[in-house]
A and B are shown apart, each in its own frame.
Chain A
Amino acid sequence: MNAFVQYIESYLTSNVTPGAAGNMFWASIYILIVFTGVSVGVICMNWLERKVLAHMQVRLGPMRVGPHGLLQPFADALKLLLKEDIIPARADSVIFWSAPFIVDLAAFTVFVVVPFGPQHAITDMNIGILFMLGVSSLSVLGIVMAGWASNSHYPLIGALRSSAQMVSYEVAMGFAVVSAILMTSLNATGTGTLSMIGIVEAQKAQAEWFIFKFFPLGLIAFFIFTVAMVAETNRAPFDLAEAESELTAGFHTEYSGFRWSLFFLAEYGAMMAVSSIAVTLWLGGWLRPFPNWLSGSTWDSIFSYFPGATFLFLATLCFYETARMPKHPYFRIQTIGLAVFGALLALIGLLLFVPAVSVRIQDIFWFTAKVAGFMYLYIWYRGTFPRYRFDQLMRMGWKVLLPIGLGTLILTAGVALIQQNLWRP
């Protein structure tokens, strides 16, 4: 018993990820926390997407379940759990049954290497980015299996479309990623790294986020990646695989209830995963804005107030809306609910002002805030852009993004060579 306690405590003094420390107990705890966090993120995204899209289209969105529809995701989840689970009679039941699990497995496994902070990752692999790209490419398999096993026309066409799309955009995505990895090798020793934590450390060492590196080049690679990642996750404007007006729901037409919700979970999990790749590679991962320009302990302490201030701002919004709630007795419970939610947010905000907490939490906060920005962009795309046609999509992937990505890679390599050899200060 004593040895076990010592085993648990031994990690607390170390300064590395639980994977690197080889501590199974804390690794399991981290896995639980990260997976729960991702699931909570998916719940929030469900509500946010409906709400933001509704406001973009001058509607109100969900308003009935809970104040401002805050409990809508739970109502949806309950409905999906209670729904009848249907497997089509001529479907290949084993493959039909396993497809959603494979998609979920691929979407969640990548979070093993996502660096939320220098210590706050489950583990750090020396092939981190390769692992992320590889495992997320396995989700295509689940989609193909789902489409084929349904034994129906719409899912088959949808699966073909989305797998063709994902395989084609993976190429452009790869080139963008390689040009960012190339930038990690611009140090004294000249060796780069594939580890997710190492990539962020390289940006810290070079005092520059890779999006601003070699000015237009980093930005172009980032742009290619952001376009390719929307296509990878089958989201609007590249959501023609599940174009409701043409293919009912694409590869998951025949899925219902809980199985369908697994696909939903995987889609949003994958969105967060690719966003965190983009954040890690180009936006400095867990680094706060201007770590070098606005350095020093004064700025450090100012930036450490950000997490708490964000939650307090949200709490203020909640209290403002509470005051604006209709005064009719029918709305009394909703008003109280909103006030309680606001109080909860304020409590979290105040907790984040405690120095001991804020020091530990701020890496995670900055990383999550950047990923959240990408998630908002996803909703914004969906509200703004019209859907691409399939030939337009393929032309864009192969004839626009791929050559530009290749050119950017070659130019980046050239500029890096010149900087390393000729123009060394």
Chain B
Amino acid sequence: MAPIATPFFFYLLAAIMLIGGILVIMCRNAVHSALALIVTLLAQSAIYLMLYAPFVAGVQIILYAGGIMVLFLFVIMLVNIDRALKERQFNSQWWVGIIAATTLGGLFIAVYTKGKSIFPERIASVAEADNTQRVASLLYGQYMFAFEIASLLLLVAIIGAVVMAKKRI
């Protein structure tokens, strides 16, 4: 079977992600920003698919595009958009932004030029069929402690939300 992971698809998805990301910060309307973010996340999940990580791609769609972003939109919809549109956009962190951008850009250029020695020559051959099982056995075996700690963190967040939302407990 011919591989789907061709450079054409990578550049297409990368372009979609970049345009989506730029739109997220350029749109004045918060709802438009959130929708652009969803486009970015979907393109990202497609890139995960190209990296032979189907489980991560599926979870990305379910959790981010289908779950978290819906809640984002939910909150944004209830905000008074008209007032937010009239507000003057300001930016007083030019210097921090420029420093961060140049550092990141330098890092990218360094990785691009010296990439051959940093990264392995070719991808490790992973059987796509048992990708999910591999992820599961790593999560529940080697990284059990980190996994449980993360779930504890989520539990704390849930309890915090309930405490903040409920007047009388």
Residues of A participating in the B interface, judged by any CB pair closer than 8 Å: 20-22, 92, 95, 125-127, 130-131, 133-135, 137-138, 140-141, 144-145, 147-148, 156, 159-160, 163-164, 167, 170, 191-192, 194
**Total number of B residues with any Cβ neighbor in A under 8 Å:** 30
A144 to B38, CA, bound (A): 13
Task: State in angstroms the CA–CA spacing of A194 and B57 once bound together.
Answer: 14
Q: How far is the CA of A159 from the CA of B31 in the complex (A)?
A: 14
Query: Which residues of chain B from 59 to 77 have any CB-CB distance to chain A below 8 Å in the complex?
Result: 59, 61-62, 65-67, 69-71, 73-74, 77
A167 partner, pick from B58, B67, B78, beta carbons under 8 A: B67
Q: Provided the pairs A134-B58, A141-B65, A167-B67 are in contact, do residues A126 and B131 lie with their beta carbons within 8 angstroms? A: yes
Residue from A126, A131, A194 whose CB has the most chain B CB atoms within 10 Å: A126
> Would you list the 6 A-B pairs with minimal beta carbon distance, nearest first?
A137-B66, A130-B58, A134-B61, A22-B1, A134-B62, A127-B58
Residue on B with the closest CB to A130? Answer: B58
Given A138-B65, A141-B65, A131:B58 Cβ within 8 A: yes
Decide yes or no: A144 and B62 within 8 Å by CB, A22-B2, A126-B54, A156-B77 being known contacts.
no
Report B147 CB to chain A, min CB distance, Å: 16
Residues A127 and B132 in contact, CB atoms below 8 Å apart: yes
Residues of A within 8 A of B2 (CB): 22
CA distance A159 to B61 in the complex (A): 21
Q: Are A127 and B35 in contact (CB under 8 A)?
A: no
Residue in A130, A159, A164, A192 whose CB lies within 8 Å of B62: A130
The SS class assigned to the B binding surface is: helix
For A137, the closest partner residue in chain B by CB is B66
- Is B67 in contact with A148, judged by CB distance below 8 angstroms? no
Assembled-state Cα–Cα distance A133/B63 (Å): 11
* Cα A136 to Cα B2 with chains together (Å): 28
Q: Which A residues are in CB contact (< 8 Å) with B159?
A: none
| Complex contact A126–B35 (CB within 8 A) | no
The yes or no answer to B169 lying at the interface (CB within 8 A) is no
A133 to B133, CA, bound (A): 19
Which B residues have a C-beta under 8 Å from some C-beta of A? 1-2, 29, 31-32, 35, 38, 54-55, 57-59, 61-62, 65-67, 69-71, 73-74, 77-78, 128-133
Known contacts A125-B54, A127-B57, A127-B132; A163/B62 CB under 8 A: no
CB distance B73 to A141 under 8 Å?
A: yes
Inter-chain contact B66/A126, CB cutoff 8 Å = no
Contact partners of B55 in chain A: CB under 8 A = 127, 130
Distance in angstroms between the alpha carbons of A102 and B43 in the assembled complex: 15
- Bound-state Cα–Cα, A109 to B129, Å: 22
Q: Within 8 Å CB of A133, what residues of B?
A: 62
| Complex interface: chain B residues within 8 A of A145 (CB) | 35, 73
The answer for the CA separation of A191 and B2 in the assembled complex, in Å, is: 28
10 A-B contacts (beta carbon < 8 Å): A92-B29, A95-B31, A125-B54, A126-B128, A127-B132, A133-B62, A134-B61, A134-B66, A138-B65, A145-B35
A95 to B59, CA, bound (A): 26
Q: Nearest chain-A residue to B55 (Cβ)?
A: A127
16 more A-B residue pairs beyond the given contacts A141-B65, A144-B77, with a C-beta to C-beta distance below 8 A: A92-B29, A95-B31, A126-B54, A126-B129, A126-B131, A127-B54, A127-B131, A134-B58, A137-B62, A140-B66, A140-B70, A141-B66, A145-B35, A148-B73, A159-B77, A160-B77
Rounded to whole Å, the gap between the CB of A339 and the closest CB of chain B is 49
